[in-house]
Amino acid sequence: MNSTETPPGTDRRRWFALAIVMTAAFMDLVDVTIVNIAIPSIQRDAGASFSEIQWITAGYALAFAAGLITGGRLGDIHGRKRVFLVGIGGFTVASALCGLAVNPEMLVASRFLQGAMAALMVPQVLSIVHATFPAHERGKVFGLFGAVVGLGAVSGPLLGALLTEWNLFGWEWRSIFLINLPVGIAGLVLGSRFITESRAPRALKLDLVGVSLVTLGLLMLIYPLTRGRELGWPLWGHLSMAGSLVVLAVLVAYERRKAVRDGSPLVELSLFRVKSFAAGIAVQTVFGVALGVFFLVWTLYMQIGLGWSPLRAGLTGVPFSIAVSAAAGMSVQLLVPRFGRRVLQAGALVMAAGVLLYIWESGHYGLAITPWQMALPLVVMGAGMGLIVAPLTDAILSEVPREHSGSASGLINTVQQMGNALGLGLVSVVFFGTIAEHLRPEQVGPAYADAFENALGWVAAVMGAIFLLMFALPKRPAQHVEGEQAPAGREDQEPALV
């Protein structure tokens, strides 16, 4: 379908398409965390070793992070709808293989495949939104996207706890993977009908050298960060991370020459000349660090430090999720058009205030703290996060040309994953670094509570850094400056829908 026949914003199917891609994004967000809750069941039923358990969780993250930029570019080249459908279809098959795994080795391999398919699927979500919706509607859409992010952030542990506890059909841990099958099949069928195809308006070629360099560089960086603590931070891990910077520097030099030679690089470096994109990517990376630290130490604090069940811990996160969703929708639709960048900065300060309140409550109530007492700081933190997540995505993509939306989306997701991995690596310092190696049972709770408060102090400091970084963002995202109509010079001249 040519864009001259159906301009962006006139096709009623775009809202059905939005629901489909948002469901796929939610499915991925849940799958990142859902496995953690089921680990004891997997160890007991599948006989997985500790090393295999590490790979079950790390394999998905590694394959996902390493493939995101390539997945985004493949959508630009071959069509975002087509690559999205391949991704969601492959993700569904991989989920079935995970649920039907006959041994730990098969489960590990299936998780790698699942992460690789998610890397094809997830970048297309923002790309399809960017190519399908006119500028004046994207604020509302990104508000919904922020709400989905908030729900997905805490729904994984809760859903994993419920499915494992209910033991549907005697499947135990297998149900956390098999639940993706009906969702994936529905997404595949409905997506083929309602999503409008779009791709870069000029022919691009896949940069295989760029794919190799970016994959190698990201694996050299993220693998040691993901497994470093369990392995005792060996020397090769530090060398690998240092070497990754060299590889990524070679990638930048190669991509610069590639852009001049044939105009078809994997990483579109010209995007970083767009101030809103470059500043937003920096904020997204540091924000990923804060979230990576918080969600892991929060789970450890509740389940090990306080001795709560997975279900109780999962239910405790519900106020946080509701607050993120409500604030995300309100921020983009009501607040950002009026106050611009100040909304995101207020979100950083509100989230930092929630973190500080949580530190005070943890120290004040000690091990007797209840989920109800945690609700207030979690609501404040969730509101702050909601004020950031949706407008930030909107700000990053607001001035990106549509032919590069896939590359930009892949970069957004990649730096978030890198930030999360760095945050997980920092947990060994800011959380486990304060806990003695050999604790008596009565020492575990107080030690974890103290470590939790120390880690949250670092999270508050990171939020302060994010507040300062946000001064580099435009005062107002471009589409809100432009008003209700898309600018003729940019929205209409690129026939992105084909």
pLDDT at 487: 37
Q: What is the 3-state secondary structure (H, E, C) of the chain?
A: CCCCCCCCCCCCCHHHHHHHHHHHHHHHHHHHHHHHHHHHHHHHHHCCCHHHHHHHHHHHHHHHHHHHHHHHHHHHHHCHHHHHHHHHHHHHHHHHHHHCCCCHHHHHHHHHHHHHHHHHHHHHHHHHHHHHCCHHHHHHHHHHHHHHHHHHHHHHHHHHHHHHHHCHHHCHHHHHHHCHHHHHHHHHHHHHHHCCCECCCCCCCCCHHHHHHHHHHHHHHHHHHHHCCCCCCCHHHHHHHHHHHHHHHHHHHHHHHHHHHHCCCCCCHHHHHCHHHHHHHHHHHHHHHHHHHHHHHHHHHHHHHCCCCHHHHHHHCHHHHHHHHHHHHHHHHHHHHHHCHHHHHHHHHHHHHHHHHHHHHHHHHHHHCCHHHHHHHHHHHHHHHHHHHHHHHHHHHCCCCHHHHHHHHHHHHHHHHHHHHHHHHHHHHHCHHHCCCCCCHHHHHHHHHHHHHHHHHHHHHHHHHHHHHHHHCCCCCHHHHHCCCCCHHHHCCCCCEC
pLDDT at 117: 95
pLDDT at 50: 64
Q: Is this model's pTM higher than 0.85 or not?
A: no
pLDDT at 417: 77
pLDDT at 485: 38
Q: From the first residue on, what is the mean pLDDT of each consecutive set of 10 residues in the chain (498 residues)?
A: 44 82 84 72 73 75 82 87 95 94 89 92 84 76 73 72 73 84 92 85 78 88 76 88 94 89 80 86 91 85 86 85 84 84 95 97 94 96 90 80 73 80 78 81 90 95 94 71 38 32
